[in-house]
Amino acid sequence: MLGEVLAVVGRVMFLSLVRACWFAGVVVAAGVVCAPAFAVQQAPPPPETQQQAEPAGDPHIAEEEAAQRQALGFLGYLDHGRYADSYAYTGMLIRATNDRDSFARQIKKARAGTGALQSRSLIDASYATSVPGAPEGQYVLLHYDASFANRPEAVETLTLAFAKGYWRVSGYYIK
């Protein structure tokens, strides 16, 4: 009787093992058959459909965009009459010749009579390694078409210099 029980248990275990191996074989076979389909789906798109990191015509687009963000922060303070607060956006070229109060007076004089900002749009941005009256370095020049309540056609020019990891305003002119 013990022999029969062992024979039955052995046969059940053998069948379980056969089923497990068969199931594993099916899973492996499915993986082999489906793997090429998954590989095709995960392949990167062809080079002609990939976007380039930067336009071919402007290798300094990242610098120009970073400088524009800083310039808009600076201009935001000017637009709200917070001339002394805009000093926080200035770089060493301005700080070497002006303290916060004298800078605020100069900017207030430059913006006198313009009135409230109506609109502003970027005309152009350009990267340079030298600008008149400044040492060699990294600079971005920005020109904005601006319209003010009392001066509907104006052009604002900003020069920003890169130093210590930040773009800082080094010049502001309005015509």
**Does the CA dihedral 53-58-60-63 come out positive or negative?**
negative
For the 61-174 domain, the top CATH level (class) is alpha beta
Q: How confident is the model at residue 58 (pLDDT cuts 50, 70, 90)?
A: confident
Structure tokens at 93: 């070229």
Residue reference for tokens 């078409």 = 145
Least confident of 11-20, 88-97, 111-120, 151-160: 11-20
Domain-wise residue ranges, the chain:
2-49, 61-174
Structure tokens at 140: 């971005």
Has residue 56 got a pLDDT over 90? no
This prediction's pTM: 0.66
- Strand order from edge to edge, sheet including 166-174: 117-128, 139-148, 151-163, 166-174
CA distance 77 to 100: 14
Least confident of 30-44, 63-77, 106-120, 131-145: 30-44
Let me know the angle formed at the C-alpha of 79 by 91 and 68, rounded to the nearest 5 degrees.
50
Residues paired with residue 156 on neighbouring β-strands, in sequence order = 144, 174
| Category of 113 on φ-ψ map: left (φ > 0), alpha (ψ -120 to 50) or beta | left
Rounded to 5 degrees, φ, ψ at 109 are: -65, -40
